[in-house]
Amino acid sequence: MITANDLRIGKTFEMEDGLWVCVKFEHIKPGKGTAFVRVKIKNLENGSQVERTFRPEDKFKLAFLDYRKMQYLYRSGDEFFFMDQENYDQISVNEDDLGDAINYLKENMIIEVAYFKGKPVSVELPTFVEMEIIETEPGFKGDTAQNTFKPAKVESGYVVQVPLFIEQGEIIRIDTRTGLYLERANK
């Protein structure tokens, strides 16, 4: 068992209504009254996020996740197929269960899949991914006085805002936590 005071970002725990991971944590001690813990938590079973306030002594059951390295193989309709790197078992994960991760998946990419009681509950992407731009307007030179951007579609189908000088066919680096363009990738 852990207390609300022990919660930190990334810690998984069980509450009465499911499996949760802490996304944001804040310990608040007002001038008057008792301290409390305000957290933003994400349900790993259905993807919903809520903000909750707990007393520091509230207790939760710590959840232990099993992480397995898996290779993303392909997509068929709403199903995404992955292969375990140790025993070569294949699993399928529904699009709804992956959430925003589908924007950054490339075939043959190695990721970590979190399992809880034998069921896949979430995927852990690398912090940065490199993707090729497959569609964007032609690049411009010179207009660098302002920080202006244009939409660009990458190989996964995700549309990201990039600077005007970026052209189709270039490889760019994207931050998977924010979904923002970072820089051109070295070729």
The amino acid sitting at 106 is K
List pLDDT tens digits, range 12-48.
888 877 888 888 888 888 888 888 999 988 887 777 7
Task: Tell me the residue range of the domain where 174 lies.
Answer: 128-184
List pLDDT tens digits, range 95-109.
877 778 888 988 899
**Can you tell me the mean pLDDT for 129-139?**
88
Residue after which a domain boundary falls, among 11, 36, 62: 62
Q: DSSP state, 186?
A: P
**Can you tell me the mean pLDDT for 115-140?**
84
Q: DSSP state, 123?
A: E
User: Are residues 28 and 48 part of one domain?
Assistant: yes
3-class DSSP state of 142: coil
Q: Any idea which residue has 């938590």 for tokens? A: 41
Long-range contacts (CB closer than 8 Å, 24 or more residues apart) made by 25-31: 27/56
Q: Can you name the residues that pair with 67 across neighbouring β-strands? A: 114
Residue after which a domain boundary falls, among 62, 85, 107: 62
User: Are residues 81 and 46 part of one domain?
Assistant: no
Instruction: Write down the pLDDT at residue 99.
Output: 74
Report residue 142's pLDDT band, with 50, 70 and 90 as the boundaries: low
Number of domains comprising the chain: 3
Q: What percent of the chain has pLDDT over 90?
A: 20
**Can you tell me the mean pLDDT for 100-127?**
85
16 to 19, 59, 61, 62, 115: CA distances (angstroms): 9, 11, 10, 12, 19
Instruction: Write down the pLDDT at residue 177.
Output: 81
User: Are residues 120 and 70 part of one domain?
Assistant: yes
CATH code (residue 91): 2.40.50.140
Length of the chain: 187
User: Are residues 82 and 57 part of one domain?
Assistant: no
Instruction: Write down the pLDDT at residue 143.
Output: 56
